[in-house]
Amino acid sequence: MMKDENCIFCKLANGDIPTATVYEDGDFRVILDANPAAKGHALILPKEHYANLYEIDDELAGKSMILAKKMITKLTKALGCDGYNIVQNNGEAAGQTVFHYHVHMIPRHKDDKVGL
Ligand code: 5GP
Ligand code: ZN
């Protein structure tokens, strides 16, 4: 399994640093964002290290989006929110700050003032 010893998301995704886990399977761990843009802001982290969408394996990239679809479908009902942003940043110029591929899932409510 590809991991980067200096990568915080590798450690979180693989349970080397304990964190509140929303969902886990063989490929991914979904955790709550430490600095949420909105309540319930979660991150899909692959357990393998890929810096971004340029680097990640096609099949795993596809799986991450299928997982996002499943999760927002459930969570929209569970949280009673009105919509979801799926955000995925690639490269410093695009606002990426942690260089381990991740998908943001941000719950939205009508007329909330979340700025992305
Ligand atoms: P990016 O800007 O790279 O797309 O998103 C990185 C996200 O990771 C940010 O929303 C930031 O709040 C979150 N983050 C950074 N370090 C940690 C951490 O140690 N734990 C958790 N749960 N989230 C983190
Ligand atoms: Zn990593």
Distance CA 116, CA 50 (A): 24
Average pLDDT in the 93-99 region? 98
Model pLDDT, residue 1: 75
What's the alpha-carbon Rg for the chain, to the nearest Å? 14
Q: How confident is the model over 69-89, as pLDDT tens digits?
A: 999 999 999 999 999 999 999
Catalytic residue check, 104: no
Sorted by where each begins, the domain ranges of the chain are 8-108
ipTM strictly over 0.90?
yes
Any atom of ligand 1 within 6 Å of the Cβ of 8: yes
Mean predicted confidence (pLDDT) in 10-29: 97
Query: Distance (Å, rounded) from C-alpha 35 to C-alpha 48?
Result: 23
Q: Nearest to residue 104, comparing CAs of 57, 47, 35, 43?
A: 43
pLDDT of res. 28: 98
Of 67 and 116, the one with more pLDDT: 67
Q: Is 65 helix (H, G, I), strand (E, B) or coil?
A: helix
CB 83 within 8 A of CB 108: yes
Nearest CA to ligand 1 atom 1: 96
Question: Probe ligand 1: pick from 7, 12, 33, 55, max atoms within 8 Å of CB?
Answer: 33
Please name which ligand lies nearest the alpha carbon of 47. Answer: 2
Ligand 1 near 98 CB (within 6 A):
yes
CATH superfamily of this structure's domain 8-108: HIT-like (3.30.428.10)
pLDDT, tens digit, for every residue of 22-50? 999 999 999 999 999 999 999 999 999 99
